[in-house]
A and B are shown apart, each in its own frame.
Chain A
Amino acid sequence: MILTILLLALVLLGVWVVRLAGWKFAAQRFGGALIVLVLVTFGTSMLLRQVPGEPCEIALGTAATEEAVALCVEEQGLDDGAVVQYVNWSKDILSGDLGYAFYKNQEPLIDTIQQRMPRTAWLFLYSQLLALMIAVPLGIWSAYQAGKRSRNIPSWLIYPIVGTLFVFGQFVAGWRVTALIGVAFVIPVLIFNFVRAGPSGDTTVNFVAFVLLSIPVFVIGESLRYAFAVQRDWYQLTGYAPWSDGAAAHLKSIWLPALVLGLAATPVYLRLLRADFLQNLQQDYVAVAKAKGMSNTHILVRHVLRPSTVTLMTVLGLNIAQLVNGAVVVEFIFDFDGMGGYLIEAVYRQEFFAVQTIVALVAALFILTNLVIDLLYTVVDPRVTATAGS
């Protein structure tokens, strides 16, 4: 169902792009994506053949009879050549047979995906919304402040940041950890801001983004989990509640993982938007707008934000890969039964076939998303077609 809609949308988009940019361009894009898709899935199936020993014996456990193993080998096509196996495997996938989530009890993978995919999808959506809500205003503001030097701005910006960090430390684990955090975070920030004269708000925002970028996701996740789910019961680790249980229950069951994932994505968008803004602010049309007497806010939001959104869109697409990485870790930390959590589970149980299928599916999703964004570009910004050849 979803697949049909996606394919239909892709076809429509394809027709549009052909009209706008011609056959050659469209064929280039679609062909390229297809080649990469085939290579990726073929690569993963090649890797599966590297399993030491017999994957079927591992999948079925030690108690399996020889007939069962033989059946499994035949079913998975492990005796066939690499190419034959790959072709059969892709035929199965395309006809909707994804194989088993847990080979031993023949639990179909498609059921697991249908059950768990929505959770991960909501997690992605909320975290990205949150990240954008923080990154876009801060990015604009910090680009606007760039290059300014003033002693005043950091002094009001630094206190909430330092304060939050201290409250956070107190929250998580008492004064010892607060002291550790103080040494690790606050002192560098203070040195950075006050020993030298007059960095602007931009420097501070940039610095904080830089720091946030360097904290591994699992460190953020683990400390927030401890603070909100273990020490206080602001977040229940009992599991996910779908929308049908009511909005409050749904949001309550997902906000902390989404926050962690969002915090991890924020500095990426922030830094990108800032850099992009800085470039756009040097364009002539900004000077013209300024000369015409437009207000700074108007220029920033109406003239500069628009071209920058195109870049932001691309990064949102590319960031899906990053997001999948983050989701695996975050779902593991919060025992969130999404796709990432399942993947780790499958790895522990050595369900090679399921892992292979999921890796291939995620890669396919990623490639498709980027293809769509690539094509949307031509629609949004026709210049892309003109420069595509070079």
Chain B
Amino acid sequence: MTNIAVDLSETSHVEAGVPDTKSADWVFRASVVWLVIVVVFVVLGELNPLVGDPNEKNADLINASPGWPNIFGNDSFGQSIFDRVVVGGRISIFVAIAVTLIGIVVGGTMGLIAGYFRGWFDSLMRLIINTTLSIPALLLVIFIVTVRGRGLANVVLAVSLLAIPALARIVRASTLQVADRDFVKAAEVLGVRRGKIVLQEVLPNVMPTMVSFAFLTTGIVLVVEASLSFLGLSVEPPAITWGSIIAGGRDKFNDAPHVVFAPAIVLFLTVLSLNFVGDRLLKRYDIREASL
């Protein structure tokens, strides 16, 4: 299948109009602050004096509402939701970052080579990209996790298979644009080796696109992983993820809605911030998805 459908459809994210930088500034700063808070809390984990043991059950606090000192409340075992969200974020965020890095490195390399050197490798890449993108993402992930088991490595592998072709497609398109520009042609005429041109001329110019989409991808991966955990198909139970806290709160929604809402809101704000940062970077570097 050719790419016209895909190409034409990717008009979505970026505004075609005048970039509204002033209003974005506020939101952009807030997003960055939120992301930093999340990452610091999650990385520190239990070392942080504010965070207790996520598995400590307290019979007095069963289904306790949000308040002080447990600002997110407690679940039906009396476990502090705040502690669980902080510790559970470790897997969620690890998966998101790991998948994005794999996607950037593998997909980016594929896209660069395909976009700059063209030829049979490009045809092959386009075939692979089209094939992988034509399977509904969640189905593929579910299938892989069913077949290979529910380990952390398998989840990362399965979700990476989605991120790689998506990023490869974007990097390839961006490389095609850059490769067409005069300074690349000049380097070619001067007789610079092609490998060197890719690394020194093309890559730096593709970098902004890669970084912007890395943020957007991280957001998508967070949601995919959370959906998987929600369906009970991610990492096995003793491990906590944001999705599994939400899934665990489902039965007791009546008594303790905060068990679902607290991690859901943290997840939502994180994804929203990632989207804002990604979108803002796209605007900053004037990257039009429509032209990719």
A23 at the interface (CB under 8 A from B): no
Chain B interface size band reads 35 or more
Q: How far is the CA of A196 from the CA of B29 in the complex (A)?
A: 14
Given contacts A359-B139, A374-B1, contact A344 B268 (CB under 8 A): no
Judged by a CB distance under 8 angstroms, whether B208 is at the interface is no
Contact A40 B134 (CB under 8 A): yes
A85 at the interface (CB under 8 A from B): no
Which among A314, A356, A366 has the highest number of chain B CB atoms within 10 Å?
A: A314
> Chain B 192-227, CB within 8 Å of chain A: the 1/0 string?
000000000000000000000000000100010011
A270-289 with Cβ < 8 A to chain B: 271-272, 275-276, 278-279, 282
Is B5 within 8 A of A192, CB to CB?
Answer: no
Given A343-B142, A388-B4, A210:B12 Cβ within 8 A: no
What's the minimum C-beta distance from A237 to chain B, rounded to whole angstroms? 13
Known contacts A180-B66, A278-B15; A39/B127 CB under 8 A: yes
Q: Contacts A32-B2, A374-B4; is A362 near B139 (CB within 8 Å)?
A: yes
Residue total for A at the interface (Cβ-Cβ under 8 A): 89
List which A257-272 residues lie within 8 A (CB) of chain B.
268, 271-272
Q: Please tell me if the beta carbons of B1 and A370 are within 8 angstroms of each other in the complex.
A: yes
B246 touches A366 (CB 8 A): no
Is A188 located at the chain interface by the 8 A CB criterion? yes
Interface string of B134-146 (1 = CB under 8 A from A): 1111111011101
Task: Annotate A188-215 by CB proximity to B: 1 below 8 A, 0 otherwise.
Answer: 1001100110010001001000110111
Chain A residues whose C-beta falls within 8 Å of the C-beta of B269 in the assembled complex: 184
CA gap between A36 and B135 in the complex, in Å: 10
Which B residue's beta carbon lies closest to that of A217? B227
Find out whether the CB atom of B143 lies under 8 angstroms from the CB atom of A355. Answer: yes
Determine the residue in chain B with the shortest Cβ distance to A332. Answer: B231
Contact (A311, B134) CB under 8 Å given A278-B17, A367-B1: no
For the complex, is A324 an interface residue (Cβ under 8 Å from B)? yes
B284 at interface (Cβ–Cβ under 8 A)?
A: no
Interface CB pairs A-B, < 8 A, 16: A28-B2, A36-B1, A146-B15, A173-B261, A188-B27, A211-B272, A230-B254, A278-B17, A311-B9, A311-B11, A328-B139, A332-B231, A347-B146, A367-B134, A370-B1, A373-B5
The answer to whether B250 touches A147 (Cβ under 8 A) is no
Say what secondary structure dominates the interface of chain B: helix
A47 to B5, CA, bound (A): 28
- Cβ-neighbour of B5 out of A43, A210, A213, A370 (below 8 A): A370
Which of A203, A222, A282 lies in contact with B20, CB distance below 8 A?
Answer: A203
Q: How many A-B residue pairs have CB under 8 A?
A: 216
Output the least CB separation between A10 and chain B (Å): 13
Q: Which residues of B contact A (CB under 8 A)?
A: 1-2, 4-6, 8-9, 11-18, 20, 22-23, 26-27, 30, 65-66, 127, 130-131, 133-140, 142-144, 146-149, 219, 223, 226-227, 230-233, 246, 250, 253-254, 257-258, 260-262, 264-265, 267-269, 271-272, 275-276, 279, 290
- Residues of A345-382 whose CB lies within 8 A of B: 347-348, 350, 352, 355-356, 358-359, 362-363, 366-367, 370-371, 373-374, 377
Min distance, Cβ A2 to any Cβ of chain B, angstroms:
20
Q: Say whether A246 faces chain B, with CB atoms less than 8 Å apart.
A: no
